[in-house]
Structure 1
Amino acid sequence: MPTRKPSETYSPLYFLASVGAGGLTVTFFMWLMFWIPHPGKTVPVFEDIMAAFAQGNPLTQAMLVIAMAGIAFFAFQNIKLLIWNLQRYSAWRKTDAFQTFSKTNAQSQVLALPLALAMAVNGGFILGLVFVPDLWSIVEYLFPLAMVAFLAIGVLALKQYGNFLGRVLTEGGFNCAANNNFGQILPAFAFSMVGVGMAAPAAMSTSATVAGASIAISTFFLMTSALIAVVAMILGLRSMMENGANADTAPTLLIIVPLLTVLGILMLRQAHGFGVHFGVESGAGATLSLTSKLLGAQFAILLFGGLVLVKQGYAGRFLFGSENSAGAYALICPGVALSVMMQFFLNNGLVKAGIVDKFGIAFWVITALAIAAQFAMVWLVLLLNRRHFGTPKGAEAVPAE
């Protein structure tokens, strides 16, 4: 039987391959963020990394090399897969398949494009911090440019989602029976990614004006994302209760996990800006409370979604079997998000609240769990890329619904 690359049957969900790689870039940055000193700055930069390398023992130096190599590799994958997707998406838009797609529930999947663009901008900022000397000296000039970029991506996302809502709310045709997944939460994820990028200056800028604009605009995307997610979750659950979860799109049941991490970081960035510039201090207790609630909700969602995936035998079919679906890339973001949220819960929550000693035994036990989730997703990315962009034996592409 002849074989084809599954990616030859294009779906906008392949943008999630780029998003997943970008997310792994963030997980390696967490090592630098929380393990090396960066006095006077909210994030580590090239000079901090070089100082830590010069003063560190061999274990510290090895960690820094692995972290920087991981950031470089997955940032490259992020950009490469984004470019591939943009080229394929542009060609796909001119086909009859796209016209048919645009009249279905799946039309909202096009918001994977601004999601990937926003992730790429966030990843680009990390690349600059880690590899560009003296970047911090001009960072105040970069913040307004970054805000303009995120705003442009946000406008694109609003336009795309407006096209979808405008069609279904004026013409009808939304298939509630086929909405037996959480795929309609994808637009919320896209808006949250724009929002977290827009909130970065609130956490890092020394200008109250820039920080204030950052907080105001990011709040719009925060609330837009939350509203869409709540409505989409209710509609999806209603359909699943009646029709069962769709096997091909079952990974979307976990999309709330990365959504919560991104919105959590957005709120933490805003809280920092409120404290530094506007005298609204939140304190370690508030941070611990927020991250605890978010992490607890994530574990609940993982149990719920994991139960469905196991019952359906998803891994045996779409990860190790003969079937392929672009929707499998939706499995990467939850693992990445869990790893990142655990790092924030530990370092900004437990450590700052004085519950866990930094670099103590409990610290490394929790960190090991975060790293286990991180490297499980590294393995999954490599597996999926080989299956979808290589030529797996005996595997045929399954068109995304």
Structure 2
Amino acid sequence: MQNMSHAATKYSPLYFLASLGMGGLSVTFFMYLFFWVPHPGQPVPVFEDVWPVLTGGTLLQQAMVLIAWAGIAFFAFHNIKLLIFNLRKYAEFKRSEGFEAFAQSNAGSQVLAMPLALAMTVNVGFILGLTFVPGLWSIVEYMFPAAIVAFLAIGYIALRQLGHFIASRLHSGGFNCSANNSFAQMLPAFALSMIGVGLAAPAAMSTTIVTSGISLVLSTFFITAAVLLALVVLVMSIRPMLEHGVNVEAAPTLMVVIPIMTVIGIALLRQGHGLHVNFDSHTTDADTMMTLTRLLSVQVLFGLFGLAVMSRVGYLARFVTGRETSAGSYALVCPGVALSVMTQFWLNKGLVAAGLVAKFSVAYWAISAVAVGFQIAMIVLVWMLATKHFRPLPQGAVAAA
């Protein structure tokens, strides 16, 4: 009998978050190159920027590049591997007898985890190209339209899934408001924001005004939709949580606002850069610092809120270190990854750019250590979750499942 894992035998679309988390960790290693390697001439580091550091830099710089390359490649591989696993299992799940009941329940919105993971993988693919493909920047203007088309295709899937979920509830009802005692319905907003940040990339990096302008318009649409949807879910979820308490298994969703804020923050930075370079619109470094500080403040508040609730209901002891399993546990990876990335942006694009912290000073490395700390913690968490969810089960356990 083929070895099967818990994720394979008890599949849920939320396992797309496993692929998402791997992609996010790949991004955290790209932050090393993005902020610690000079890249004059283009807004992101490419192979030609990194290679001289690897071959002619100090031993510490060479070690940093090797760690970054290894981290990017390792987690990108698992991002793609888990995406393929999920696409196969999701196709089987859609043909199963229980799919219709799932689709008609509150959990039906979980299908938006698929376009969320797809959008992340497209971003990861771009990072792989920048990092490992020599000469890529010379043809990058031809890649931007293709990237826009790819993200629009994913956006179509997301809007179609979301439209079907909402239209079905508005037509025949069936949404259990009392069971909406978490932020689980925030997942579609997360998916739309991930598509929006991908669409914003050409706005920042393209020197073709038409490409940049199209990117600005389309990314604004998806980011606006994500914000509106997140606000609606935030309001409609508070009352059932106060009346019935938090759904313990969905407790990690209380921190889903954290990755949404990071994604929106990066999208705003990309749009701002594109407006500055291509449309002569200017934002001061102090403005950027304050925008990032506000977003980080929201993240810290929701992080404290989520951790306090999870501690009270004993979530970690049950579903992470304990014997119980829940696909929703992978939602814990996203906030930690998002805080790591946002801390890097807040430090470099905010504090350093505004002149508050000197680059590579003691204070700089102290704050960078916080970002790396979140990164390491999430790597440990991913390893723990992978052991629980993707380790092959004994044949007897598979037969029982």
Return the TM-score normalized by structure 2.
0.97
Gaps of 5+ in 1: none
Whether the 8 Å CA contact 1:199–1:266 is kept in 2: the answer is yes
Aligned equivalent of 1:215:
216
Please state if 1:18 is matched with 2:16.
no
Match of 1:245 in 2: 246
Partner of 1:379, secondary structure, is helix
1:356-388 CA-partner distances (Å, limit 9, x unpaired): 000000000000000000010011111111110
**What is residue 383 of structure 1 aligned with on the other side?**
384
Match of 2:5? 5
Residues 217-271 of structure 1: CA distance to partner in whole angstroms, max 9, x if unpaired?
0000010000000000111111101110001111010100000000110011000
Deviates more, 1:49-58 or 1:126-135: 49-58
Aligned counterpart, 1:326:
327
Residues in 2 aligned to 1:392 and 1:345: alpha-carbon distance in whole angstroms: 43
**Per-residue deviation, 1:391:** 4.2
Answering whether residue 92 of structure 2 is matched by residue 91 of structure 1, we say yes
Q: Pick closer, same or farther for the CA change 1:4–1:213 going to 2, 3 Å.
A: closer
Q: Any conservation in 2 of the 1:386–1:392 contact (CA below 8 Å)?
A: no
Matches of 2:14 and 2:198, distance apart in 1: 21
1:199 is matched with 200
Determine helix, strand or coil for the equivalent of 1:249: helix
Larger relative contact order (CA 8 Å, sep ≥ 6): 1
C-alpha separation between the residues in 1 aligned to 2:239 and 2:48? 52
The alignment's TM-score, normalised by the length of structure 1, stands at: 0.97
**Cα distance change, pair 207–154 in 1 and its aligned pair in 2 (3 A):** same
Shift of 1:54: 2.2
Write the letter of the residue equivalent to 2:129: G
Distance 1:276 1:106 in 2: 43
Per the TM alignment, residue 195 of structure 1 is displaced from its structure 2 partner at its CA by 0.5
Distance (Å, rounded) in 2 between the aligned partners of 1:235 and 1:214? 32
The answer to whether the 8 A contact 1:208-1:277 is kept is: yes
1:93–1:368 CA distance, 2 compared to 1 (3 A):
same
Q: CA deviation at 1:326?
A: 0.1
Give per-residue Cα distances to partners, 1:253-290, cap 9 Å, x unaligned: 01000000001100110000111111111121111011
- Tell me by how many angstroms 1:328 deviates: 0.1
Superposed structure 1 runs of 4+ greater than 6 Å apart: none
Alignment of 1:2-401 (within 5 A): 5-7=5-7, 8-391=9-392
Please list every run of 5 or more consecutive structure 2 residues that lacks an aligned counterpart in the other structure.
none
Q: Letter of the aligned partner of 1:260 in structure 2?
A: M
Q: How far did 1:4 drift?
A: 7.3
Larger displacement relative to structure 2 (50-59 or 198-207): 50-59
2: CA distance, partners of 1:260 / 1:359: 26
Distance 2:357 2:393 in 1: 46
- Aligned sequence identity (%): 55
Equivalent position amino acid for 1:263 in 2: I
SS at match of 1:177: helix
Tell me how far apart the structure 2 counterparts of residues 63 and 31 of structure 1 sit (CA, whole Å).
Answer: 7
Q: CA offsets, 1:62-101, max 9 Å, x none?
A: 0100000000000000000000000000011001111110
SS in 2 for 1:281: coil
Task: Rate the CA distance shift 1:4–1:38 in 2: closer, same or farther, 3 A.
Answer: closer
Letter in 1 for 2:327: A
- Cα pair 1:22 1:123 within 8 Å, conserved: yes
The 8 Å contact of residues 20 and 333 in structure 1, kept in 2 or not, is answered as: yes
Q: Deviation at 1:392?
A: 6.9
| Offset at residue 350 of structure 1 (A) | 0.3
- Contact 1:251 / 1:327 at 8 angstroms: preserved in 2? yes
